[in-house]
Structure 1
Amino acid sequence: MFRSYLTIALRNLARSKAFSIINILGLALGLAASMLILLWVRDEWSYDRFHQHSGQLYKVYGAAFVEGKIDGSYGTPPLLYGELKRRIPDIVAATPHSWNEQHTFQVGDKIFKESGAHAGPDFFRMFSFPLLEGTAGDALNSPESIAISRKMAVHFFGSPEAAIGKTIRYENTKDLVVKAVYEDMPVRTMFQDDFVLNWETFLDENNGWARDITNFGPETFIMLRPDAHPAAVDAKLLHFMDPYLDKKAIPMTMGMQPLRDVYLHGQFEAGKPAGGRIAYVHLFSLVAAFILLIACINFMNLTTARSVRRMKEIGVRKVIGAVRGALIRQFMGEAILIALLSGGVAFLLVVLTLPAFNELTRKQVSLPYQHVLFWTALVGMILLTGIVSGSYPALVLSKFQPIKVLKGASPGGTWLRKTLVVFQFTLSIVLIIATILVSRQIRFLEQTNLGYDRENLVYIPLEGNLKTKLKLFQQEAQEIPGVIAMTGMSNDPTNIANGTSGLKWTGKDPDAKIQFSWASVGYDFVSTLRLQMRYGRDFDKSLPSDSTGYIINEAALAKIGYKDPIGQPLTFWRKPGRIIGVVRDFHFQSLHEPIKPMVIHLDTLSQLTVALIRIRAGQTGDAIKGLERLCKSLNPAFPFNYRFSDEEYVRQYRSEEVVGHLALGFAALAIFISCLGLLGLSVFTAQQRMKEISIRKVLGAGLFNLFALLTKDFLLLVVIAFLIAAPVAWWAIHRWLEQFSYRTEVSWWIFALAGILALLIALVTISYQTLRAAAARPAQRLRTE
């Protein structure tokens, strides 16, 4: 019996090669796209789930009540980890973790910059990063300790074995001892450290503020006892900071989030982690289901449409005793066979396109060949696709009545086929509209005027002698051809996330708790960034009183309320001074965030970490070479390193850029698969109406009239699909744009353009076969009917 079913299925595939190719290709593309998306989703879900104690690990977050709103973040007091272990017995280990930063290391004549962080002694006891040399207890047990990755050990010492116990020079100021070497951290973790330093090193590096537990900055991680109740610990964290905050401080609560949830739920709403990349996981999981569903609909449409070709076969088989169940099994078997063939083609497509997909998504997704679960899921998805795509045709074809079939009755199902086509194009048009708007938002982000000129602006880290000889560095840098201006700053101008409520001014409400961002800068700050002054001036080297002068932005002026701000008193961190300038608002964070009140104060050395250098357009190469020579002469113990401001700005929107590329690719694929089905249906419709077309031609119908007759029904379906898709796309894109404080306009013409594109694509798809049918000779066709 099985052999008979298989023989019939193969004969049917061979008899209708064009329809078979369309069916197999459509399902293969749908399966391949779904497989790629599911591999991407699997990769997203796998972050930080490999740790041995994953279920006991949590990340602490804080929430501040500022001006009637709750602002949440992962910033915590640097000394919090010790207090947590002391006061909450359920916490058996805790560690802070500083920002991942580049530092310079030297062994002999080898000098490299490496990226890493500072952490507490419990770090390697909590997280499962395999140690190649050393032990978790000794890795960070003293201020002179350092743990390094395999890559860093090979760079400096040749091997992990040779590195253990050796001395390495840190920032040309301190010798550290390698106490442990760990395997390079995997891609799927929030930690991407080539080295880990003892936490005391962080506290000693001009971070005196970090010894005050009321100041917030680094991240804190905790590990609970296996028998601890997370809800009970979370309740203890809620008011944990109360004993440390005085009555004038901003109210603060704390909470904890499972480590395995942090990567996907890293954005805050109402002071708690609530969103983030999980939205993209849900979105693309839905897209995968939609694309596969579109491919299955193609199969259903083409199979039921072609059923007239098999009506006599079905009638004869029923007359000689075939029961409906046998027919259902046969047609389901044919569908599963096509799905299996499509699955093989899809797997080959995934293997061939995976490198390009990884480059597009900036990931290292691979096919887990060795995992039985992967193969089980793959085969299950293919079989499910075959069952879903073949179920309706099998049920429809098997219920035909033999007498009606043998008399040539129509199989019906026209309205269902039309409904499925509408559904296909609805999904496709939604993806087209979303793609256009995502692309516009990305261009909007890239082209938005930030309030300063990010073109031809270079960042050079102030380290080693560059910081101690800053005045000399600035004087000689400005003699380099192409260098226009230079200043120093405590942060990159696109990444100022610190905040303080330590401002006082005349008339301030003593109960007001307003959060201000702040930045330390050098002279020529306003002219180097090309900020616009609304009132006053920049810091002036000839005026010693500017050491206690402040520049604020328009958002800060609105909070402070001075009508004539220049010369008015302002106290920042208990340092009284006066406002000397007000700059027009500029963006110093990503466009996800609104512009916040900001105070800028003068600092000629201690807090400046980066030099901002303005280069004349067209002289970038010569200026960089000159700066490299200068840095090597003044700072020979450190490698020359620089970054461009515009590149750093664009890097903030990599996730949105990837989403845009993926949306474009999957929208194109959805349209293509839908058009394959439309092409098949147009071929079938033209064949079914050949007698009608021939008669109309004999009666004088022209080519244009026949073309309009054959296309109007299909184009009407696309119009209906557009009317359904437009409001759905409008709702979805508005939900996505809500995460940006600054966003592009959602114009009506975008929806019109998407509708016109869908109509043109559908028209082009069916035109060739329609024109061919309309141009056929009527005499020959009527003679054969």
Structure 2
Amino acid sequence: MIKNYLKVAWRNLIKNKAHTFINIAGLSVGLACSLLILLWVQNEMDVDAFHKNGKNLYSVYERQFFDHKVTAQYFTPGLLASELKKAIPEIKYATSSTTGFEERHTFKVGDKILKIEGAAADSDFFKMFSYPLLQGNAQNALNNISGIAISKKMAENFFGSPQTAMGKTIRYDNQKDLIVTAVFDNIGANSSEKFDYITNWQAYLKDNPWALNWDNNSPLTYIQLRDDANPVLVDKKITHLLTSYNKFEKKGIFTQDLSLQRFDQKYLHSNFKNGVIDGGRIEYVQLFSIVAVFILLIACINFMNLATARSVKRAKEIGVRKAIGAVKSILVWQFIGESLLLTSIAVIISLVFLTVLLPVFNQITQKQIELPFNQPLFWIKLLGITIITGLVSGSYPALFLSSFNPVKVLKGTLKLDSGTVIFRKGLVVFQFVLSIILIIGTIIVSKQINYTQSINLGFDRENMIYVPLEGNLVTNYEVLKNEALKMPGIQSITRTDCTPTNITPSTIGVHWIGKDPNLNISFNDASVGYDYINTMKLKMVAGRDFSKDNATDSAGYIINETALKRIGYTDPIGKPFDQWGNKGIIIGVVKDFHFNSLHEQIKPLILRYGEKDISGYLMLRTQPGKTKTALASMETICKQLNPNFQFTYAFSDEEYNKLYNNEQIVGNLSNAFAFLAIFISCLGLLGLAMFTAEQRVKEIGIRKVLGASVSSLFALLSSEFLWLIVIALIIASPIAWYTMNIWLHNFAYYIPLQFSVFALAGGLIIFIALATVSVQAIKAALINPIKSLRSE
């Protein structure tokens, strides 16, 4: 019997080639898209989940209460880890770390010089985290102040192999020699933290004495609890630990507390709102999980609609089967079986699509996802998706077809009732509601990304390059600057300790005349050199830039408009200003500019004198069209002055674009999935149009005989579908508005939700739908009425 059902199913598929193609194509594309998204979602969920001690690993974050606000951050004092380990018995291991900061330093072995990204961490680091050691052991890998643990890749680059690297010496920033004490395996794609070396934490503190101050935050702090520890109780214990170390808290300036977050949750839940963890990448995981379900639903709806619409074609078959004794349950399983057969074919084709699309998908998402064909769990999940898709798409048609009355069928009096027709139309509306939401979302995401690219930041990021000041470039900065300004292609030069789109350091150690002692304001701050305003092309509201012609500028400050509003000076130039006890005067007020992501409001900013800093970046503005010439000039000078370091640089506009990397990925994926959702929906619409035209072929013939024009027949056949699209647009628009309004509020600066966006989406979907239907409608309208009426 099963063999017979399979034969019948296969014959039906072959007999109705067009509808079979539409169903299989829709399901294949839908399944391929959904599987791609699910692979990406699983990859995101797997990040940082590989650590053996994962259930006991926690990240410490700090909340700050001041200026009537609560903020939170992962940056903590550099001494916090060692203090936590001493103060809290439930803590087994603790480490400070700079992992994730993208610190790049120069290493030299013999004549080979490489700039490599890495970090510093405490001796407990490898005891806590499961980064496999190929050489050395976790107990003493980072115990030596002159020691360094390097990756397999770094060991191979410098020494040929991990084995030969052990105990060898490597030159660090041309300042000191470090000994390789361990070699760890290359960090995998499933780790949120990427690094190729780890240096000793005490060495880091020695090189960065500011980190010994409890009032300065920058490193990250991680802890591992004992197996019997209660995380909730530990969280309560550490809450007020900073109180005794915070000199500002004793003065009532601001208060701090600490809290814990599971380390494996940090990657997906890293945003803070009012001092509480609130979203992060998890929002995109949830969003695209919903999109995967949407696309698969659209494909399933196609199947339901076409199967239900063509039910009249199989009515006699069902009538005969029922007349000779077939019961409803047998017929239900027959049709579900046909659905599962078609779904299985679609799954096989979708795997081919998946293989072809995955490299492109990896490029868009910046991932290294591989098809897990060798994992049994993948095949179990795929089988589950196949069964669920087959049941969802085939259940309603099976129940509907199996319920036909055999007497009516065999008499030829069977007609689809109004409920069935309404249900079918409702599925079309629902299908296009999902598609329209995706289209509107895609347009808004695209417009917001374009807005971030085109907005006036308050400075000119074009033709601007950053060069890190390291090695001899620090001590020879004046020579470097003077020589560079003589070279072709270079317009102006300055220096700073922070790049203009990433001024994150902040302070509350600021005083001025008339300051309310109960007012606690956080100011972002950066040290800058001469010609900063000119090189950045900032606009001055009052006063001037730092200048070597004014010896007193070393005690001068430039503030932005937002800072001026908080300070309250009406005539600020020359007024006293004090930062960290360094008394000076305000020499300039710069017009507000964006120095962080558009996710954040412009904050009060202090620019202090930093022409003689011992680190930071040289900022170079090139003449338009002469960037290559300027870079060649800079490389020549830097190699002459700094032969033990590679010449490296970064473009300002590229660094700015990195701030919106997630949004750009979301935009690219949204474009692709919205297109595919429309494609699948239109396949279904085409199938319904084909069937409608087929059912009304004689009516069309009669109308043509009576004088109906092609245009009137086209309007007749397409109007029914047009109204369904209009209804879908009316339903989808408020849902899309609400959803995208929430998304846009993740930015402090965003585009308005304009009616034109919804009109564009509506016009686009109507045009696509009409173009899809018109092919079949015009074809039906052009049929010779003699042929269509011949049987009459």
TM-score normalised per structure 2: 0.98
| Residues in 2 aligned to 1:713 and 1:69: alpha-carbon distance in whole angstroms | 56
SS of 1:65's partner is strand
* Greater Cα offset, 430-439 or 62-71: 62-71
Alignment of 1:15-54 (within 5 A): 15-54=15-54
Alignment of 1:521-540 (within 5 A): 521-540=528-547
* Superposed displacement of residue 191, structure 1: 1.5
SS of 1:275's partner is coil
SS of 1:784's partner is coil
SS of 2:578's partner is strand
| Residues in 2 aligned to 1:299 and 1:672: alpha-carbon distance in whole angstroms | 14
Alignment of 1:260-275 (within 5 A): 260-275=264-279
SS of 1:202's partner is helix
Contact 1:520–1:608 (CA under 8 A) maintained in structure 2:
no
| Residues in 2 aligned to 1:741 and 1:366: alpha-carbon distance in whole angstroms | 37
* Superposed displacement of residue 410, structure 1: 1.5
* Superposed displacement of residue 651, structure 1: 1.2
Q: Which amino acid aligns with 2:10?
A: L
Alignment of 1:136-215 (within 5 A): 136-205=138-207, 207-215=208-216
Q: Which amino acid aligns with 1:52?
A: K
Unpaired runs of 5+ residues, structure 1, are none
Q: Which amino acid aligns with 2:28?
A: A
| Residues in 2 aligned to 1:251 and 1:601: alpha-carbon distance in whole angstroms | 26
| Residues in 1 aligned to 2:84 and 2:192: alpha-carbon distance in whole angstroms | 22
SS of 2:613's partner is coil
SS of 1:752's partner is helix
Matched, 1:410 2:411: no
* Superposed displacement of residue 780, structure 1: 2.4
User: Over aligned residue pairs, what C-alpha RMSD do you find?
Assistant: 0.9
| Residues in 2 aligned to 1:369 and 1:780: alpha-carbon distance in whole angstroms | 53
Aligned residue among 467, 483, 495 for 2:502? 495
Aligned residue among 360, 365, 385 for 1:381? 385
* Greater Cα offset, 716-725 or 536-545: 536-545
Which residue is 1:9 aligned to? 9
Alignment of 1:34-433 (within 5 A): 34-98=34-98, 99-205=101-207, 207-246=208-247, 247-248=250-251, 249-408=253-412, 409-412=414-417, 413-433=420-440
| Residues in 2 aligned to 1:727 and 1:196: alpha-carbon distance in whole angstroms | 52
| Residues in 2 aligned to 1:22 and 1:403: alpha-carbon distance in whole angstroms | 32
Matched, 1:691 2:698: yes
* Superposed displacement of residue 25, structure 1: 0.7
* Superposed displacement of residue 775, structure 1: 1.6
TM-score normalised per structure 1: 0.99
Aligned residue among 744, 748, 752 for 1:745? 752
Which residue is 2:681 aligned to? 674
Q: Which amino acid aligns with 2:256?
A: M
| Residues in 2 aligned to 1:85 and 1:563: alpha-carbon distance in whole angstroms | 50
Cα deviation digits, residues 713-756 of structure 1 (max 9, x gap): 10000000000011111011111111101111221111001001
Contact 2:510–2:580 (CA under 8 A) maintained in structure 1:
yes
| Residues in 1 aligned to 2:396 and 2:779: alpha-carbon distance in whole angstroms | 31
| Residues in 2 aligned to 1:272 and 1:187: alpha-carbon distance in whole angstroms | 28
SS of 2:533's partner is helix
| Residues in 2 aligned to 1:618 and 1:700: alpha-carbon distance in whole angstroms | 67
Which residue is 2:560 aligned to? 553
Contact 2:214–2:246 (CA under 8 A) maintained in structure 1:
no
Unpaired runs of 5+ residues, structure 2, are none
Contact 2:475–2:614 (CA under 8 A) maintained in structure 1:
no
Q: Which amino acid aligns with 2:484?
A: A
Which residue is 2:461 aligned to? 454
| Residues in 2 aligned to 1:125 and 1:591: alpha-carbon distance in whole angstroms | 39
* Superposed displacement of residue 783, structure 1: 2.3
* Greater Cα offset, 6-15 or 408-417: 408-417
Matched, 1:465 2:472: yes
| Residues in 1 aligned to 2:614 and 2:533: alpha-carbon distance in whole angstroms | 18
| Residues in 2 aligned to 1:635 and 1:698: alpha-carbon distance in whole angstroms | 90
Which residue is 1:713 aligned to? 720
| Residues in 1 aligned to 2:204 and 2:486: alpha-carbon distance in whole angstroms | 36
SS of 1:454's partner is coil
Contact 1:521–1:608 (CA under 8 A) maintained in structure 2:
no
| Residues in 1 aligned to 2:416 and 2:716: alpha-carbon distance in whole angstroms | 22
Contact 1:490–1:607 (CA under 8 A) maintained in structure 2:
no
Q: Percent identity?
A: 52
Q: Which amino acid aligns with 2:365?
A: T
| Residues in 1 aligned to 2:605 and 2:787: alpha-carbon distance in whole angstroms | 83
Contact 1:520–1:607 (CA under 8 A) maintained in structure 2:
no
| Residues in 2 aligned to 1:527 and 1:771: alpha-carbon distance in whole angstroms | 65
SS of 1:241's partner is helix
| Residues in 1 aligned to 2:702 and 2:222: alpha-carbon distance in whole angstroms | 80
Contact 1:488–1:608 (CA under 8 A) maintained in structure 2:
no
Matched, 1:615 2:622: yes
Contact 2:494–2:528 (CA under 8 A) maintained in structure 1:
yes
SS of 1:739's partner is coil
Matched, 1:765 2:765: no
Q: Which amino acid aligns with 2:482?
A: Q
* Superposed displacement of residue 607, structure 1: 4.9
* Superposed displacement of residue 217, structure 1: 1.1
* Superposed displacement of residue 208, structure 1: 2.1
* Superposed displacement of residue 444, structure 1: 0.6
Contact 2:474–2:614 (CA under 8 A) maintained in structure 1:
no
SS of 1:565's partner is coil
SS of 1:104's partner is strand
